[in-house]
Structure 1
């Protein structure tokens, strides 16, 4: 009796080693692209653990920029309460040494408000996402860079100081860096609000002083909000001191602005790689 050999069928075990595209008929890799991975990375919300540190760093930037702007142009770019008083004094033509000081204050207030409005719209595009925060601080840094470049290149004349002899000494080109600096200041206070760090407004200290003095747990061992407020006061003070000394040195006003821009850029990069929500630093 002759034995007939049985041929292997296509479904035999040997076919298991052959490549298959059952899950992807087009034969393309199922691994996400680099672009999509980066996009997903930037769309991820950050953890709020230690996220107060960049916000407190913004207080140093405010001190640096405000001391520089006031010393050079007699105007604030972050603390708008002082600008509001300067604007009010302008209604009576005071102070007589700064006849057009109210114009600078008005520009600063207006651009600060516009900055708050513009950056507040990030609430509609994942305000706590890495990418949103990184882009926000990149734009803030870019505004300071423009202001620094205007001063560095002498497009804006070297400041003559707070006191001027008469109105003809005022150069309205000074409004350009003031506008950029005030606009970016609106971005940092909006971010502090969106992240929930209302105790660190970054641009003003009156409410912070009040909250510190009236805190029933002021001397408690564990009081995170008190610690943040105290750090904000120290950073604005140190930033103001540094800004004053650098301005009077050979480095000049522009150096303060370059430092401020560098800090904002570093914060932007930090947000882009911040730990995701649910993870602790």
Structure 2
């Protein structure tokens, strides 16, 4: 009662101007803020270069909402790497659904036809698909290192992406040393057939396997940054899909992922036509290194003071 009487008698909390004064102290509604594009508004590099190599900064977690650019670059690299493998041997190094079904068909072929006339050979295309599946899983298993360092820490995101770059470089060297071509005209006549090209396929698949689990651990709308079937389904199911006047991260980031992967495939094939698979993988190595460095500058989540946690 005393507090109520005090409020009633306080001239600052009564009178015809009270409601207007109270409204001035409230935050402005989100819809009144200045609008920016989703990709720019969620990918600002706030981290000062002077703090990049501090232990506290390296072991700190990135803000997933500010990781748009490097994750979009991951999606780009998926299309880029897959363009090399599919152009040479019609096998996807990143999309293991197709490779798994291909191996299932190869097993079913053993029981097709009358006894004594069955095809029991292990076709080259099936060998390449098996190589891709196994090395993809091996590369993904390396992502467990991040569970100890911190899956969202800058140190792991930098180190893991650097390992991807080394895998891509090893694939480039193997493809170069193989002495084989880069483009297969028909599925039954792959451009890569010798042992060194199997090594190239293995390292490419391992790099994407590691990338996939790292992208998943960041936990954003980009998902694994590799398989986009789920992203397509979630995009079409988004209730705000057609709300074009408002920024919707769940929709916009999925669109960015799809477009980035498409561009990666397009750019990859263009470079293959110009300089070949080995040089294309060399370019991919440089791109992965730049992405690794990029992770060091991604800010952390804002602290209570409104400043980035890494500042």
Q: TM-score, normalised by structure 1?
A: 0.77
* CA distance, structure 1, for counterparts of residue 189 and residue 157 of structure 2: 44
Task: Tell me which of 21, 34, 58 is aligned to 1:42.
Answer: 58
What aligned pairs does 1:1-281 form with structure 2 within 5 A after superposition?
Answer: 38-91=54-107, 92=109, 99-152=123-176, 154-155=177-178, 157-159=180-182, 161=184, 163=186, 170-220=193-243, 221-249=246-274, 251-278=275-302, 279-280=307-308
Alpha-carbon contact 2:95-2:226 (below 8 Å) kept: yes
* Partner deviation per Cα, 1:118-150 (whole Å, 9 max, x = no partner): 113311222222111111111011100111122
Secondary structure at the counterpart of residue 216 of structure 1: coil
* Partner deviation per Cα, 1:154-185 (whole Å, 9 max, x = no partner): 23533461637679x83232110111111111
Residues 265/70 of structure 1: CA separation in 2 closer, same or farther (3 Å cut): same
* CA distance, structure 1, for counterparts of residue 133 and residue 150 of structure 2: 27
Residues 259/170 of structure 1: CA separation in 2 closer, same or farther (3 Å cut): closer
Alpha-carbon contact 1:200-1:232 (below 8 Å) kept: no
Alpha-carbon contact 1:61-1:239 (below 8 Å) kept: yes
For these two proteins, the number of residue pairs brought into alignment is 242
Alpha-carbon contact 1:192-1:198 (below 8 Å) kept: no
Residues 63/75 of structure 1: CA separation in 2 closer, same or farther (3 Å cut): same
Secondary structure at the counterpart of residue 273 of structure 1: coil
Secondary structure at the counterpart of residue 146 of structure 1: helix
Which ranges of 4 or more aligned residues in structure 1 deviate by more than 6 Å? 164-167
Residues 121/198 of structure 1: CA separation in 2 closer, same or farther (3 Å cut): farther
Unaligned runs of 5+ in 2: 1-52, 113-118
Q: TM-score, normalised by structure 2?
A: 0.70
Residues 45/151 of structure 1: CA separation in 2 closer, same or farther (3 Å cut): same
RMSD: 2.8
Structure 1 equivalent of residue 23 of structure 2: none
Cα drift, residue 205 of structure 1: 1.7
